[in-house]
């Protein structure tokens, strides 16, 4: 993996999305500090953490509780448009509140197994790229769905390469590839790397996730072997002890520091390879969804700051 892998897409999208925001000089390789100097990485609130809240409330809460960015889901954008809202205006509002959008999740069903299903799926995929670009996101995540045990890596690499080209040329957005630890198909870091590298595109990059590294059995030592610019965004969370790895689900994610994952070492490895992209808190805890979103967001950023501080990377 070369030093320039993914750099152009990262920088182009970053400039478009954050000209007046907190990351105007925050591309990989820069020395910016965030959170008042408490973090080498911008901290982003993934909308899943406060999922029941309407999108405007999610944005307001993220801004009021001190996050650097907000990572939205495609249904946030779809619902906003269905209710008559403008995604370009929404993007301006996000930037006006001092936030940026690192990524949208995502391009569901974008990699059908049958060649004849590709064109129909691409119509929906293009619409999701458009929406993600209009809100000012620098990336949109391609999830290897429909999931299947016999997912062909070459087919996936070819399709991902095409998605990268379409995203860049038609919408000015970088498509990042995301693996999912409980999938039957692409569930390990090595598989995701194979798809992304064999796409043979300079902007190929991954969405990584501490939960998926754990759940899929990849572990965490692979981080140190990656180029910093090969990682578009890193979803951050923890997993409680006392459960079988194979039984862990999204609902079991907890705040960083409340579980047993080696997050400190992961942060030290990210610092060592020069990663300066976002850490995005992504949790699906039903108990959190029943609480005041602002209190959850405030607790989350405190946990994220404490995790960074404990790693000794500032």
pLDDT at 5: 34
Rounded mean pLDDT, 251-263 = 98
Rounded mean pLDDT, 277-301 = 97
Rounded mean pLDDT, 101-124 = 96
* 64 assigned to some structural domain: yes
d(CA 216, CA 197): 20
**Between vectors from CA 16 to CA 10 and to CA 20, what angle results, nearest 5°?**
115
Rounded mean pLDDT, 102-116 = 95
pLDDT at 12: 37
Would you place residue 3 in the very low, low, confident or very high pLDDT band (cuts 50, 70, 90)? very low
Distances (CA, A) of 286 to 20, 109, 127, 254: 35, 25, 30, 11
Instruction: Pick left, alpha or beta for residue 136 (phi over 0 → left; psi -120 to 50 → alpha; otherwise beta).
Output: left
Q: pLDDT digit string (tens) for 193-222?
A: 999 999 999 999 999 999 999 999 999 999
β-pairing verdict for 104-107 and 43-46: unpaired
* 1 assigned to some structural domain: no
* 2 assigned to some structural domain: no
Would you place residue 32 in the very low, low, confident or very high pLDDT band (cuts 50, 70, 90)? low
* 105 assigned to some structural domain: yes
Q: What is the SS3 assignment for the chain?
A: CCCCCCHHHHHHHHHHHHCCCCCCCCCCCCCCCECCCCECCCEEEEHHHHCCCCHHHHHHHHHHCCCCEEEEEHHHHHHHHHCCCCHHHHHHHHHHCCCECCCEEEECCCCCCCHHHHHHHHHHHHHHHHHHHHCCCCEEEECCCCCCCCCCHHHHHHHHHHHHHHHHHHHCCEEEEECCCCCCCCCCHHHHHHHHHHCCCCCCCEEEEHHHHHHCCCCCHHHHHCCHHHEEEEEECECCCCCCHHHCCHHHCECCCCCCCCHHHHHHHHHHHCCCCCEEECCCCHHHHCCCHHHHHHHHHHHHHHHHHHHCCC
* 206 assigned to some structural domain: yes
pLDDT at 1 over 50: no
Count of beta carbons in the 10 Å neighbourhood of residue 89: 12
Q: Which residue has the higher pLDDT, 178 or 3?
A: 178
**Between vectors from CA 233 to CA 232 and to CA 236, what angle results, nearest 5°?**
155
pLDDT at 26 over 60: no
* 142 assigned to some structural domain: yes
Q: pLDDT digit string (tens) for 218-239?
A: 999 999 999 999 999 999 999 9
- Percentage of the chain beyond pLDDT 70 is 90
Domain limits at 148?
7-311
For residue 313, how many C-alpha atoms fall within 13 Å in the half-sphere facing its CB? 27
Rounded mean pLDDT, 9-29 = 37
Our count of domains for the chain comes to 1
* CATH number for position 86: 3.20.20.150
Q: Which two tokens stand for residue 179?
A: 């693996």
β-pairing verdict for 69-73 and 206-209: unpaired
* 287 assigned to some structural domain: yes
Closest alpha carbon to 279 in 249, 236, 245, 217: 236
Would you place residue 67 in the very low, low, confident or very high pLDDT band (cuts 50, 70, 90)? very high
Q: pLDDT digit string (tens) for 128-178?
A: 999 999 999 999 999 999 999 999 999 999 999 999 999 999 999 999 999
pLDDT at 15: 38
pLDDT at 58 over 50: yes
* 93 assigned to some structural domain: yes
């Amino acid at each position: 993996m070369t030093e320039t892998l993914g750099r152009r897409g990262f920088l182009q999208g970053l400039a478009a999305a954050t000209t007046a925001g907190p990351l105007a000089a925050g591309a990989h390789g820069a020395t910016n500090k965030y959170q008042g100097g408490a973090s080498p990485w911008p901290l982003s609130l993934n909308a899943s953490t406060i999922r029941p809240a309407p999108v405007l409330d999610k944005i307001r809460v993220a801004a009021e509780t001190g996050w650097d960015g907000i990572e939205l889901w495609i249904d946030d954008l779809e619902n906003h448009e269905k209710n008559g809202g403008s995604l370009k205006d929404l993007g301006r509002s996000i930037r006006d509140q001092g936030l940026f959008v690192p990524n949208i999740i995502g391009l569901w069903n974008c990699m059908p197994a049958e060649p004849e299903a590709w064109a129909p799926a691409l119509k929906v995929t293009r619409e999701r790229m458009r929406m993600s670009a209009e809100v000012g996101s620098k990336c949109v995540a391609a999830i290897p769905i429909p999931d299947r045990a016999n997912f062909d890596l070459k087919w996936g690499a070819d399709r991902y390469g095409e998605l990268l080209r379409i995203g860049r040329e038609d919408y000015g957005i970088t498509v990042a590839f995301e693996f999912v630890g409980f999938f039957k198909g692409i569930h390990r870091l090595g598989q995701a790397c194979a798809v992304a590298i064999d796409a043979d595109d300079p902007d190929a990059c991954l969405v990584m996730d501490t939960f998926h590294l754990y759940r899929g059995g990849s572990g965490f030592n692979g981080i140190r072997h990656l180029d910093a610019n090969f990682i578009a965004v890193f979803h951050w969370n923890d997993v409680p002890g006392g459960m079988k790895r194979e039984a862990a689900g999204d609902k079991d994610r907890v705040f960083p520091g409340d579980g047993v994952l080696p997050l400190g070492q992961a942060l030290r490895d990210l610092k060592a390879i020069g990663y300066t992209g976002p850490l995005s808190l992504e949790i699906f805890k039903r108990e959190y969804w029943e609480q005041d979103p602002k209190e959850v967001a405030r607790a989350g950023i405190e946990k994220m700051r404490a995790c960074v501080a404990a790693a000794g990377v500032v």
